[in-house]
Chain A
Amino acid sequence: MSTTAFSTALTEPPADTEEPVVDAPELAPAFARAHIDFAWRVARRLGLTPADAEDVAQHAMLIASQKVASLSAGSERAFLFRTIQFLASKVHRARRRHREEPEDAAGELADQGADPEALVAQRRARATLDAILSELTPDLRGAFVLFEIEGLSQPEIAAALGIPTGTVASRLRRAREAFTRIAVARGVLASPGEEPK
């Protein structure tokens, strides 16, 4: 290998890559604090492992930071969601097999000062939720996560997903029905007419 090729492989960006510019560096830290939890949750709810979610959340925050001044107020989460969804799809494609990684329970305990039993219950609940979400179609999953977990309004979701508001409402109804059906099949919910477990 020539020295030139050797060095170029590391230093030359692709020809079609624009030089990213942080458009308002003084705003970026506040932006990060305000939205990192959202980015993390969305990455996890889209099925990423903790390690991948960490990378994707940070990557998305950095991409968003390049546009923080030009994003209109209220559109940040929609932008972040689209970015995370895109990055997550790449990670999912890259992973030939899903590898479960242990979560940082010690870190969580230290973070939250949480009662260990409550923490275990929460982690189990999130794992169950993620298992159910993994059976939803990507369209329904995205709408469900943004509305039911992240609390975005239907117009915000419409903007994030690039679909009409009516379609959002339709997806949300179908997502809830599918969620219930999957939860029943998994024994999380009782079948209609059955006593709840």
Chain B
Amino acid sequence: MTKLKRWVDDSPPSAVLDLLQAARTEKAPSRVVSRTLVAFGTTSAASGVAAASGGAATASKLAPSIAAIVIKWGGAGLLGGSVVVGAVSAVNHHTSSSGVTHASRANLSPPSGVAGNPRPDLPRAPAAAAVESVAAPSRPNAPPVTEPRVKPGASSSHHDEASALDAESSLIGLAHARLRAGDGASVLELLSGYEERFSPPRFEPEVLYLRMQSAVASGDRANARRFAALIVKRFPTSPGVGHAEALLRAAGGAQGQ
């Protein structure tokens, strides 16, 4: 069998070469990188640096507030599955006055036999140290949770963006923490004005999901259905759509009874 050469190395027509090169050099938009890295527990994405070599250094520079939002996916898939969105937000301000640890039902502990054998080919991210394995607090003893603020004094646009992403991701983590602490009713208020406060908003699907959960927690069925319908309509491939559809189905079934 003769070894097949890649087309770009095999003197393709120039038009084909242009098409292939355009595709080979495409990078994920910074928005996608940010969203994914935030979901993985690092805000280093705020710099727009996606390269593995630069990420660690960037993360350490941006370390003042590390929000880890771990999205747990369940169900059969993107569209039909049921979804649980859990959040771990380890907000670790330089100034210790407002340190908050948010709990999560997410199990982030490596299974036995894995922790001691990390893959040597992947560098460890400093931000990972902030992703802790924590147990959900019992509701009566839930810690007070305070609203994150954009740190003052950031002068460059780089730091502005980093601070804004920190604040935005911390807000999402805080909302999750309040829901988990049994204070879902306050989440709607917490998230009011989110779209105006963060422009462009990076976590719109998550915020709609949180609003839906908050409405459920408050027994506000009309608003829960409204938010569920918005999720299905505006973000039909988002992680929360499975729950939104389940809620709408349940609501429809109940109305039919």
Interface on A for B, CB 8 Å cutoff?
1-3, 5-14, 17, 19-34, 36-37, 39-41, 44-45, 50-52, 54-59, 61-63, 65, 68-70, 73, 86-87, 90-91, 94, 104, 107-108, 110-112, 121-122, 125-126, 128-129, 132, 147-151, 154, 166, 169, 172-173, 176, 179-180, 183, 188-189, 196
Distance in Å: Cβ of A12 to nearest Cβ of chain B: 7
Question: Chain A contact residues: over half helix, strand or loop, or mixed?
Answer: helix
Contact assessment for B114 and A24 in the assembled complex, using a CB-CB cutoff below 8 Å? yes
In the bound complex, CA of A91 to CA of B6 (Å): 30
- Do A10 and B128 form a contact, CB below 8 Å, given A1-B255, A25-B41, A30-B52? no
In the bound complex, CA of A101 to CA of B55 (Å): 30
Instruction: State whether the Cβ of B191 lies closer than 8 Å to any Cβ in chain A.
Output: no
Instruction: State whether the Cβ of B80 lies closer than 8 Å to any Cβ in chain A.
Output: yes
Give chain A residues whose Cβ lies under 8 Å from the Cβ of B246: 9-10
Q: Mark B85-121, 1 if CB is under 8 A from A, else 0.
A: 0000000000000000000001111110011011101
Contact assessment for B36 and A36 in the assembled complex, using a CB-CB cutoff below 8 Å? yes
Distance in Å: Cβ of B237 to nearest Cβ of chain A: 4
Nearest to B123 among chain A residues (CB) is A30
- Do A69 and B117 form a contact, CB below 8 Å, given A22-B108, A36-B36? yes
Contact assessment for A69 and B78 in the assembled complex, using a CB-CB cutoff below 8 Å? no
Give chain B residues whose Cβ lies under 8 Å from the Cβ of A13: 74-75, 82, 84
Contact assessment for A129 and B78 in the assembled complex, using a CB-CB cutoff below 8 Å? no
Within 8 A of A (CB), among B213-252: 213, 216, 219, 221, 224, 235-239, 243, 246-247, 249-251
Contact assessment for B32 and A62 in the assembled complex, using a CB-CB cutoff below 8 Å? no
Contact assessment for B110 and A24 in the assembled complex, using a CB-CB cutoff below 8 Å? yes
Select which of B29, B39, B127, B216 is within 8 A of A104 by beta carbon.
B29
- Do A22 and B28 form a contact, CB below 8 Å, given A176-B7, A183-B15, A188-B15? no
Contact assessment for B50 and A57 in the assembled complex, using a CB-CB cutoff below 8 Å? no
Distance in Å: Cβ of B123 to nearest Cβ of chain A: 5
Give chain A residues whose Cβ lies under 8 Å from the Cβ of B81: 14, 17
Give chain A residues whose Cβ lies under 8 Å from the Cβ of B135: none
Within 8 A of A (CB), among B1-60: 1, 4, 6-8, 13-16, 18-33, 35-37, 39-42, 44, 48, 50-52, 55, 59
* A8, A27, A50, A87: residue with the most chain B Cβ atoms closer than 10 Å: A27
Nearest to A34 among chain B residues (CB) is B52
In the bound complex, CA of A107 to CA of B131 (Å): 29
Select which of B21, B36, B131, B247 is within 8 A of A57 by beta carbon.
B36
* B42, B118, B125, B251: residue with the most chain A Cβ atoms closer than 10 Å: B125
Distance in Å: Cβ of B100 to nearest Cβ of chain A: 19
Contact assessment for A151 and B6 in the assembled complex, using a CB-CB cutoff below 8 Å? yes
Give chain A residues whose Cβ lies under 8 Å from the Cβ of B22: 121-122, 125-126, 129
Contact assessment for A166 and B221 in the assembled complex, using a CB-CB cutoff below 8 Å? no
Additional pairs, 12, CB under 8 Å, beyond known A9-B243, A62-B40: A1-B221, A13-B84, A20-B74, A26-B128, A32-B40, A45-B23, A55-B235, A69-B118, A94-B236, A125-B22, A176-B7, A183-B15
Instruction: State whether the Cβ of B70 lies closer than 8 Å to any Cβ in chain A.
Output: yes
- Do A86 and B82 form a contact, CB below 8 Å, given A69-B110, A69-B114? no
Instruction: State whether the Cβ of B79 lies closer than 8 Å to any Cβ in chain A.
Output: yes
Contact assessment for A55 and B238 in the assembled complex, using a CB-CB cutoff below 8 Å? yes
Contact assessment for A6 and B71 in the assembled complex, using a CB-CB cutoff below 8 Å? no
Instruction: State whether the Cβ of B212 lies closer than 8 Å to any Cβ in chain A.
Output: yes
Give chain A residues whose Cβ lies under 8 Å from the Cβ of B253: 1, 5
Contact assessment for A58 and B237 in the assembled complex, using a CB-CB cutoff below 8 Å? no
Distance in Å: Cβ of B224 to nearest Cβ of chain A: 7
Contact assessment for A27 and B118 in the assembled complex, using a CB-CB cutoff below 8 Å? yes
* B36, B80, B119: residue with the most chain A Cβ atoms closer than 10 Å: B36
Give chain A residues whose Cβ lies under 8 Å from the Cβ of B71: 62
Contact assessment for B237 and A40 in the assembled complex, using a CB-CB cutoff below 8 Å? no
In the bound complex, CA of A52 to CA of B114 (Å): 33
